[in-house]
């Protein structure tokens, strides 16, 4: 395998500095492992925009508000490294929890835009943990670009805000959601769906497409979202958290259809939380 593995902050800093000295641009693809085609599309994008690609793998304990979710988060370093190498990235940065958060660690990064809504309303503390680890990764790696999937649109919004607010010299590159053939948005957690639930899972995307066509045919956003919520829960195993249409630029709730409208949905299926969003 022709992939370099670096586990320390000093090591990654040195490697990136060397590349930059040679006039190379660097892109970072932050991940928590459990890699699927969605991650691989981020690596492909990173290779398009930069000369040297670093993929980080770090299961960030600070962003798990549910200890069981952390315990069962898929983790297979060897398989991930093979995928990263096959996709042609240059370096895997895999810091330990102690390297990231030494005992005396006492700093939280808190973004106050795009919060208290959608996932943040249901996973208190989650985005604080994301903001903290992503800020650290940006400062540790010193990449010119970082690639994030639109599947986690609220995360993308919050990270873009923090980069601007803290003047971090990195360009955020959003990448389209990658879907299974049946429309289910790819996610590391999909691996935890039972066979029956996996068959049901695409119903979330189907309900979202219904909202899109109903609102385009004149139904109000509220009525369309309520109908989708009910029809999904009528399938049996789903427990919906939200169906909301918001402006993709400001995250403000939208009552009327316009160019910037995005539909956001989250639902539990068995013990797995699915999230998705589409432009409508
Ligand atoms: O999207 C993820 O996988 C994580 O939230 C991220 C950005 C790698 C931070 O831990």
For residue range 248-276, list pLDDT tens digits in order: 999 999 999 999 999 999 999 999 999 99
Q: Which residue CA neighbors atom 9 of ligand 1 most closely?
A: 130
Q: Which CATH architecture has domain 188-279?
A: 2-Layer Sandwich (3.30)
Position in ligand 1 atom list of the atom nearest CA 130? 9
User: How does residue 2 score in pLDDT terms, banded at 50, 70 and 90?
Assistant: confident
Distance 15 CA to ligand 1 centre (A): 22
Cβ of residue 152 lying under 6 Å from some atom of ligand 1: yes
176-221 tens-digit pLDDT: 999 999 999 999 999 999 999 999 999 999 999 999 999 999 999 9
At residue 260, the 3 state secondary structure works out as coil
Residue ranges of the chain assigned to CATH 3.30.1300.10: 188-279
Determine the Cα–Cα distance for residues 233 and 253; give it in Å rounded to an integer. 23
Distance 227 CA to ligand 1 centre (A): 32
Active site residue 39: yes
Q: Which CATH architecture has domain 4-175?
A: 3-Layer(aba) Sandwich (3.40)
Whole-structure pTM value: 0.97
The residues with which 174 forms a beta bridge, in sequence order, are: 148
At residue 187, the 3 state secondary structure works out as coil
Residue ranges of the chain assigned to CATH 3.40.50.620: 4-175
58-108 tens-digit pLDDT: 999 999 989 999 999 999 999 999 999 999 999 999 999 999 999 999 999
In the chain, what is the greatest distance between 2 CA atoms, to the nearest angstrom? 59
Phi, psi of 136 (to 5 degrees): -60, -45
Give the whole-number percent of the chain exceeding pLDDT 70.
Answer: 100
Which own/partner contact pairs does 97-105 have at CB distance under 8 Å and 24+ positions apart? Answer: 97/61, 99/7, 99/8, 99/9, 100/58, 100/60, 100/133, 100/136, 101/61, 101/62
Q: pLDDT at position 91, please?
A: 98
Cβ of residue 150 lying under 6 Å from some atom of ligand 1: no
Q: Which residue CA neighbors atom 3 of ligand 1 most closely?
A: 31
């Amino acid at each position: 395998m022709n992939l370099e593995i670096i586990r320390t902050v000093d090591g990654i800093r040195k490697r990136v500095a060397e590349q930059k000295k040679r006039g190379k641009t660097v892109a970072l693809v932050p991940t928590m492992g459990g890699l699927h085609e969605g991650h691989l599309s981020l690596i492909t994008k990173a290779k398009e925009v930069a000369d040297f690609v670093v993929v980080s793998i770090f299961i960030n304990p600070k962003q798990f508000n549910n200890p069981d979710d952390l315990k069962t988060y898929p983790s297979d370093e060897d398989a991930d490294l093979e995928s990263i190498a096959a996709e042609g990235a240059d370096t895997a940065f895999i810091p330990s929890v102690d390297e990231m958060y030494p005992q005396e660690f006492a700093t939280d990064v808190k973004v106050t835009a795009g919060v208290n809504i959608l996932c943040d309303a249901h996973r208190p503390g989650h985005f604080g943990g994301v903001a903290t680890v992503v800020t650290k990764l940006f400062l540790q790696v010193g990449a010119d670009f970082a690639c994030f999937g639109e599947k986690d649109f609220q995360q993308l919004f919050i990270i873009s805000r923090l980069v601007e607010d803290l003047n971090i010299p990195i360009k955020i590159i959003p990448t389209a959601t990658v879907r299974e053939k049946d429309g289910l948005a790819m996610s590391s957690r999909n691996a935890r769906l039972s066979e029956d639930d996996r068959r049901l899972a695409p119903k979330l995307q189907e309900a979202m497409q219904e909202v899109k066509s109903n609102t385009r045919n004149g139904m109000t956003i509220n009525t369309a979202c309520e109908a989708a919520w009910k029809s999904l829960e009528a399938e049996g195993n789903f427990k919906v958290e939200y169906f909301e249409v918001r402006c993709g630029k400001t995250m403000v709730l939208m009552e009327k259809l316009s160019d910037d409208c995005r539909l956001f949905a989250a639902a539990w299926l068995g013990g797995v939380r699915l999230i998705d969003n589409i432009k409508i």
